[in-house]
């Protein structure tokens, strides 16, 4: 299985369960592992046969910045669903990090893995 990844995609979004979290956007970081065959692209050295990383980053950024979920769990699930549907990925792992959510921790977050077969 081939994996294309994007790490630390920074996005500001309104997310959280507390009233103060709903008042202003917070910085989230998104990591994506996208299962996608790169065999043909590599064999032909042809960019048109691989995943457009910029298109993925722009689509996820736009989706997250427009979202208004309460839970990062929901956000991660919806990003996974979007990638499977819109980019012909066969498996995705989405990690959503919310730094500063807990004073005593550098970071908190969730990681979900979903496949097109499920």
Residue 91 annotated among the catalytic residues of the structure? no
Specify the range with the lowest mean pLDDT, choosing from 15-19, 24-28, 95-99, 114-118.
Answer: 114-118
Handedness of CA 48, 39, 91, 117 (dihedral sign): positive
Question: Is pLDDT of 11 > 90?
Answer: yes
Read off the tokens for 28: 């989230």
Residue of 98, 100, 114, 116 with catalytic role? 98
Model confidence band, residue 118 (pLDDT cutoffs 50, 70, 90): low
Whole-number CA gyration radius for the chain: 15
What is the per-residue pLDDT across 12-56, written as a single tens digit (0 to 9) for each? 999 988 888 888 899 999 999 999 988 988 899 988 888 999 999
CA proximity to 4, closest of 75, 59, 52, 61? 52
Core vs surface per residue 37-53: b (16+ CB within 10 A) or e: beeebeeeeeeeebbee
The helix-helix angle for 72-86 and 53-66 (nearest 10°) equals 140
Helix or strand (DSSP H, E) at 14 = none
- Give me the domains of the chain, ranges plus CATH numbers: 3-115 (3.30.1130.10)
């Amino acid at each position: 299985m081939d994996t294309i990844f994007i790490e630390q995609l920074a996005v500001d979004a309104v997310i959280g369960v507390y009233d103060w979290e709903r008042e202003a956007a917070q910085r989230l970081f998104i990591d994506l592992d996208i299962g996608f065959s790169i065999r043909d692209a590599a064999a032909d050295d042809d960019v048109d046969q691989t995943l457009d990383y910029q298109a993925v980053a722009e689509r996820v950024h736009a989706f997250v910045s427009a979202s208004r979920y309460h839970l990062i769990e929901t956000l991660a699930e919806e990003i996974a669903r979007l990638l499977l549907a819109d980019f012909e990925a066969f498996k995705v792992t989405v990690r959503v990090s919310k730094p500063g959510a807990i004073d005593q921790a550098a970071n908190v977050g969730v990681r979900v893995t979903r496949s097109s077969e499920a």
